Amino acid sequence: MTRAESTRVLVIEDLVAGYGDTMILDGISLAVDPGEIVVVLGATGSGKSTLLRCIVGLVEAWQGRVLIGGRDINAASGVGREEILRGVGLAFQEAALLNSMTTAENVALPIMEHWEVDEPTALMLARMRLARVGLAGAGDKMPAELSGGMRKRAGIARAIALEPRLLLLDEPTAGLDPTTARAIDELVLGLKARGDMGIVAVTHELGSINTIADRAVMLATGTVIASGTLAEVRADPDPRVQAFFRRELLPQAARKNLVDDLEWRA
């Protein structure tokens, strides 16, 4: 392992993965440093969520390496694997809170599972995480009583429950009104400001991309078709990249066709 690999929060090398016999990711490489937000872009179905699932071992890699803090998740098993995964938080695309328990209990769940603390302590820590995402006071609500934006925040609170070095966010602002979306972008920037956490955010919201991205990676047909700083990716001549960013210049009516076109290409 090179020195650079061990200091990075995430290194993915030539990752190949899929479901059943269907390959979805065909040789993906990317790296994330502490204090950095890498945005993953790509049309619907291009494999963004699958990539995040591979990082946390929910989808097995067929080939390639996923190093978290320099440690290979696929080479580890049992306690070693659990220890690596404790350092990663994933906020799912659908917040995926358990409806039978309160919001605070949802956030306390990973804390009780992985840290040796009693329930009152876990709930206290959970309320601290909820406060950090602007949900102080919502801990006793059931998930069904939360708005869409609040559910997204609660999902992020659960993802940061164990103070991970690597935070994965799947569409944190999709489907939210612009004000709520901006508030979540600010929250993500606040988490980054701690400096020791690396963040991978999947998003197709141009507002979010412009606000939070230090670097961007664009996926299509299972491969990385562009990567670099946001300015570099924006300047990439690949027509799929250009179509993605041109949306912001087009009137609303023309956008849908372009998005359909992008989906068709994927």
Ligand X SMILES: Nc1ncnc2c1ncn2[C@@H]1O[C@H](COP(=O)(O)OP(=O)(O)OP(=O)(O)O)[C@@H](O)[C@H]1O
When binding is defined by CB under 5 A, the residue of 12, 15, 47, 49 that contacts Mg ion is 49
Residue 203 binds ligand X, judged by CB under 6 A: no
Q: Which amino acid is at 124?
A: M
| CA triple 188-33-1, angle to 5 deg | 150
Instruction: Give residues 148-187 in contact with Mg ion (rule: CB under 5 A).
Output: none
3-state SS, 13-51, equals EEEEEEECCEEEEEEEEEEECCCCEEEEEECCCCCHHHH
Q: Which of 44, 147, 229, 257 binds ligand X (CB under 6 A)?
A: 44
- The residues with which 23 forms a beta bridge, in sequence order, are 18
Residue nearer to ligand X on the CB measure, 49 or 102:
49
Among positions 199-238, residues that touch Mg ion (CB under 5 A) are none
Give the per-residue contact string, 89-108, with ligand X (x = CB under 6 A; - = no). Answer: ----x---------------
Q: Is 64 helix (H, G, I), strand (E, B) or coil?
A: strand
Residues 6+ apart with CB under 8 A from 161: 89, 107, 108, 109, 110, 111, 125, 126, 129
CB of 91 to ligand X, least distance (A): 13
Is 208 one of the binding residues for ligand X (CB under 6 A)? no
Closest to ligand X by CB, 140 vs 263, is 263
Based on the number of CB atoms within 10 Å of its own CB, is 243 exposed (0-12), middle (13-18) or buried (19 or more)? middle
What is the C-alpha separation between 209 and 187, in angstroms, rounded? Answer: 14
Q: Which CB, 48 or 153, lies closer to Mg ion? A: 48
- Residue among 8 and 204 whose Cβ is closer to Mg ion: 204
Per-position x/- string for 49-88, each x denoting binding to ligand X as judged by CB under 6 A, each - no binding: xx--------------------------------------
Q: What residues from 76 to 105 belong to the interface with Mg ion (CB under 5 A)?
A: 93
- Least distance in angstroms from the C-beta of 119 to Mg ion: 33
- Does 46 interact with ligand X (rule: CB under 6 A)? yes
Contact (CB, 8 A) for 181 and 207: yes
- Minimal CA–CA distance to 47: which of 196, 176, 219? 219
Q: How many residues bind ligand X (CB under 6 A)?
A: 11
What tokens were used for 29? Answer: 């490489």
Query: Is 48 a binder of ligand X (CB under 6 A)?
Result: yes
Q: Residue written as tokens 């609040």?
A: 150
- Per CB under 6 A, residues contacting ligand X are 19, 24, 42, 44-50, 93
- Per CB under 5 A, residues contacting Mg ion are 48-49, 93
